[in-house]
Amino acid sequence: MKEVSKNKQFIINMSASLISCVVGLAISFFISPLVINKLGFEAHSFVTMANNFVNYAAILAMALNSMAGRFITIKIHQNDTEGANAYFNSIMYANMMMAGILILPSILVVVFLERIVNISPELLADVRLLFAVTFLNFMVTIISTTFSTATFAVNRLDLSSMRTIESQLLKAVLLVSLFRFLPVNVSYIGIATFASNVYLFLTYIHYTKKLLPQITVSTRYFEWAKVLEILSAGIWNTVMRSGQVLTNQLDTYLSNLWIGKDEGGLTSTATTIANAINTLYETVAAVFTPSLTISFAKDNKDELISDLKSAMRMTGLFANIPLCFVIAFGIPFYQLWLPQKADSIPVIYRLTLLIMCGTLVGGAISPLFNVYTIVNKLKWNSLVTLFMGIANVIVVFILLQFPALHDYGLYFIAGVSSFLGIIKNLTFTPMYAAHCLGLPKKTFYPTIFKYMFVTVLMTGVFCVFNRLIATSNWFVLIGDVFLCGMTGLLMNYAILFTNKERSILQETVLKYVKR
């Protein structure tokens, strides 16, 4: 079979990953207003909270699974079949044991749910079912994680992305059917997600057999020593994940717990849009991970650094365009998206801006987090992230103790974490990533500052567009999206991209135009 060039494979991987991401976001885009309009902001908040509770549980699994792709991929590209089998089977069986251990805590959360979160009695049964199915889905995801490394190891993320698209379409069909023929119930989202992930699990098994024929599932390859080795490396990812949860994934829960049920719903709605943008550019960052890992395994440092800087610029492209669009057109978007909730739109818009402001830096530095995993130096980033997370909760708690500030509680919950994230990502993250690679600490700052400059400039241009255009319906808004998208693309192309990246983009566009 003819070997696919690196640039072509990257474009294939990115295209498939982006389509998969957009399909998933589109489903959320159409389902969220349906749940909000039919059941209210409170019910919608529990979808976010159920997923966040799963993320809390996933902290335990992260020590193993965050490093699985690295260890297995490196052994495969070093032609160490015995070592690859040992890591694969050790991680897989350890995941099965972990899923079994988490069954009891999951049951306890579901049974005593009303004691953990503020929830209206009329929603209790539906939300219990939502949490139960979401936890069950988590068990399937844990067990399937090891098999998902097959496409990563051979740098064929396009295959897993295509199967993800199919699973998202399956999810969409189930959601439409359930909401169309049965009374509206928030648990349908969990049920459809579970079905789609079972489908993905089956495809992961298929690709493991097809792409990694040297991998054999057998208990004879299981080694506690391998599990402990991976845990010793991955434990710092667990620490880091704990910090990320305390920083970014407690907003809805803290709003529900410390302020009120409806306020938790407002935060959840704002988080939906912010998370969509984060998912978009993090999807792009993830596309670079296999090639970066392979470059490291082959000791090709120059290629690793070049690809890393390209990844920063590419994620910046997919971060600043939607960020600037929401800043400029957020109000008319929410007015069209949630027409029955007009009174709440100003609050949701302000919360969205506060949650998203970290993207001003985060859009460019996202690929740098791959460095810590690739070179297996996770300790200091994890400790700093945990410190920031603890500081976030403490600062918000202290601010909410002042009665005069209580009316601004939602904004503190949304804004403090973003502010702390900006500080970390402007100081520690780029310097420590450079240190891990043996580079000068200022190495990544030119790319970061150029990205920030383009983003601020783009925001001003988009705000001018908003002043000139009266966005009163979806057709006009779609036109706004096209106008801003093309303008943002040209601005990034002219200012942010290097000549090498411009050439690759030109070649790609011309190739598709000729077809």
pLDDT for 140 beyond 60: yes
**Using 50, 70 and 90 to split pLDDT, how confident is the model at 40?**
confident
Long-range CB contact pairs, 104-110, < 8 A, 24+: 105/57, 106/57, 106/132, 106/135, 106/138, 106/139, 109/53, 109/135, 110/135
Q: Is the pLDDT of residue 488 over 70?
A: yes
Alpha carbon of 341 to those of 35, 36, 40, 179, 319: distances in Å? Answer: 12, 9, 9, 21, 27
Read off the pLDDT of residues 465-487 as tens digits, 9 standing for 90 and up.
999 998 889 999 999 999 999 99
Maximum CA extent, the chain: 69
The pLDDT, as a whole number, for residue 16 is 66
> In the prediction, which pLDDT does 508 show?
60
What is the average per-residue pLDDT within 446-461?
Answer: 95
Is there a contact between 431 and 425 (Cβ–Cβ < 8 Å)?
A: no
Q: Between these two residues, 468 and 515, which has the higher pLDDT value?
A: 468
Does 514 have pLDDT greater than 60?
A: no
Taking residues 342-355, report their average pLDDT: 90
Q: What are phi and psi of 387, to 5 degrees?
A: -60, -45
pLDDT at 17: 66
176 pLDDT band, cuts 50/70/90, is confident
CB 479 within 8 A of CB 341: no
Q: Identify the DSSP state of 184.
A: -
Q: Report pLDDT digits (tens) over 386-426.
A: 999 899 989 988 988 887 777 788 888 888 989 999 999 99
Look up the pTM and report it.
Answer: 0.77
Q: Is the pLDDT of residue 11 over 70?
A: no
* 125 vs 51, higher pLDDT: 125
One DSSP character per residue, 371-406 reads HHHHTT--HHHHHHHHHHHHHHHHHHHHHTTSGGGG
Confidence of residue 5 (pLDDT cuts 50, 70, 90): low
For residue 297, pLDDT beyond 50: yes
pLDDT above 50 for 4: no
CB-CB contact of 316 with 364 (8 Å): yes
User: Which residue in 365, 380, 511 sits closest to 435, CA to CA?
Assistant: 380
Q: What is the mean pLDDT of the chain?
A: 84
pLDDT band at 2 (very low <50, low <70, confident <90, very high): very low
Q: pLDDT tier at 463 (50, 70, 90 boundaries)?
A: very high
Q: Which residues make Cβ contacts (< 8 Å) with residue 466, sequence separation at least 6?
A: 328, 329, 332, 480
Confidence (pLDDT) at 1: 37
CA-closest candidate to residue 380, choices 423, 425, 427, 432? 432
Measured distance CA(192)–CA(172) in Å, rounded: 8
Q: Is the pLDDT of residue 44 over 80?
A: no
Of the candidates 160, 254, 267, 261, the one whose C-alpha atom is nearest the C-alpha of residue 207 is: 160
Q: What tokens were used for 335?
A: 């007015």
Mean pLDDT across 5-14: 62
Is residue 65 within 8 A of residue 145, CB to CB? The reply is yes
pLDDT computed for residue 322 by the predictor: 92
Amino acid at 400: L
> What integer pLDDT is reported at residue 12 of this predicted model?
66
CA-based nearest residue to 276, from 485, 455, 477, 48: 48
